[in-house]
Amino acid sequence: MTYRDAQLYELKKKIDELKKIRGRGTELISLYIPAGYDLSKVMQQLREEYSTAQNIKSKTTRKNVLGALERAMQHLKLYKQTPENGLALFVGNVSEMEGVTDIRLWAIIPPEPLNVRLYRCDQTFVTEPLEEMLRVKEAYGLITVEKNESTIGILRGKRIEVLDELTSNVPGKTRAGGQSARRYERIREQETHEFMKRIGEHANRIFLPLLESGELKGIIVGGPGPTKEEFVEGDYLHHELKKKIIGVVDISYHGEYGLRELVAKAADILRDHEVIRERNLVNEFLKHIVKDTGLATYGEREVRKALELGAVDTLLISEGYDKVRVHVKCNNCGWEELRTMSEEEYEAYKKKIQICPKCRSQNLTFEKWEVAEELIKIAEEAGSNVEIISLDTEEGQQFYRAFGGLGAILRFKIQGI
């Protein structure tokens, strides 16, 4: 995982967290400050918004909006100038209990320059400008072709998406009664030609905009017979798209399965592409588990121990992994507890542990952080590779369901793990 990959992973987690929050009124503030923008102008706007917010009729909403604006202005005082890539602030009351105020603030320095200047006070946070940064820009066009069926799709990052499915009226090879073999064959050829023209028109409509934007890196064509070669060699695709064909592959299926088979069969062509690399990594992990080589492990406790021993070659984390580490401490007697749990379990845990089990004091402090981010930092310090496994592939789904979304390929065997 590169530094940018780590940034994008952490950004996705924060966006997912922000999107779940709902305000009781229009009291959640989203503030986007572009790279190089004058912070004094932002502060001036916030002071004006603060003055306006004092006229809000609802006492509760007014209190929460004013509190959020105060928190935002206090935070901006920490910066002498806008960070290099700009700054996104999200602040507001996140308490789900009526009458209880819990003003939280998220400050995000994005992985690429912000070009949006935005202030909004609403029931939800505005995350779309940050979500756009997560979108994988590079794409590969996928086309499966046979005489009576075609599927057009796209491979973007690790996600394969079906964009169009076409069927034809090309008659089968058996000659209809009463027609000469030659006439019947001419009809088949004409129908096939018309169908391939239609495939080309649909592919042009889908892929030309991607080509013009610079996102289209190549096109792979597949099919079970010679029709795919006829399509590639004929004048069905736009001439600029024909230049982007990087492979023609034999496959057996159509539809979504056909596109998946096409990508799998084009592994050599797409050797460095994310989806192939991910499939190879998960398969290597599974091979060690099945053969019990001792060079793979899974589960939070086991992976953590392997990382601390410097035994991890590659840390595998599913993008669906959402465990948090919780530390609770009694400020009266010093009792403390450290546990790993889900976000849902954390909320129940906070309600359950309201007094110290040792001295019965209510003076407790809770800390929470994401396990994935913690393990990534440990891995980077140990010189281990880190790979985020998506949920967009069959292998990624299997890794998440069967192993909880957390595993490691080891450099050497560890006793007692």
Q: What is the pLDDT of residues 334-383, one digit of tens each?
A: 999 999 998 888 888 888 888 999 999 999 999 998 999 899 999 989 99
| Residue from 16, 40, 213, 36 nearest 113 by CA | 36
- 117 with 166, same domain? no
Of 133, 158, 187, which residue is a domain's last?
A: 133
Percent of the chain with pLDDT over 70: 95
**Domain region containing 57:** 3-133
Tell me how many domains the chain contains: 3
Confidence of residue 133 (pLDDT cuts 50, 70, 90): confident
Candidates 268, 261, 280, 259; CA nearest to 141 is 259
Q: Are residues 416 and 283 in the same domain?
A: yes
Average pLDDT over residues 30-46: 94
Does the predicted TM-score (pTM) go above 0.75? no
What CATH number is associated with residue 29?
3.30.960.10
Q: Which of 89, 117, 133 is the last residue of a domain?
A: 133
Cβ-contact 257, 268 below 8 angstroms: no
pLDDT at position 100: 77
In this structure, the strands spanning 159-167 and 103-108 are unpaired
In whole angstroms, give the CA distance from residue 293 to residue 300: 20
Contact 363, 332 (CB under 8 A): yes
What number is the average pLDDT over the span 155-171? Answer: 86
Residues 221 and 305 in one domain: no
Tokens 């935070």 found at = 75
Q: Compute the mean pLDDT over every residue in the chain, rounded to the nearest whole number.
A: 90
Comparing CA positions, the residue from 282, 256, 274 lying closest to residue 401 is 282
DSSP letters spanning 7-37:
HHHHHHHHHHHHHT---SSS-EEEEEE-TT-
Tokens of 316: 């595998």
Tell me the Cα Rg of the chain: 28
pLDDT of residue 204 exceeding 90, the answer is yes
Q: Note whether 379 and 300 are same-domain residues.
A: yes
Q: Are residues 19 and 113 in the same domain?
A: yes
- Same-domain status, 277 and 417: yes
Q: Which residue from 76, 87, 78 is spatially nearest to 113, judged by alpha carbons?
A: 87
Q: Which of 133, 150, 185 is the last residue of a domain?
A: 133
Compute CA distances 288 → 6, 102, 161, 282, 415, whole Å: 26, 47, 31, 10, 16
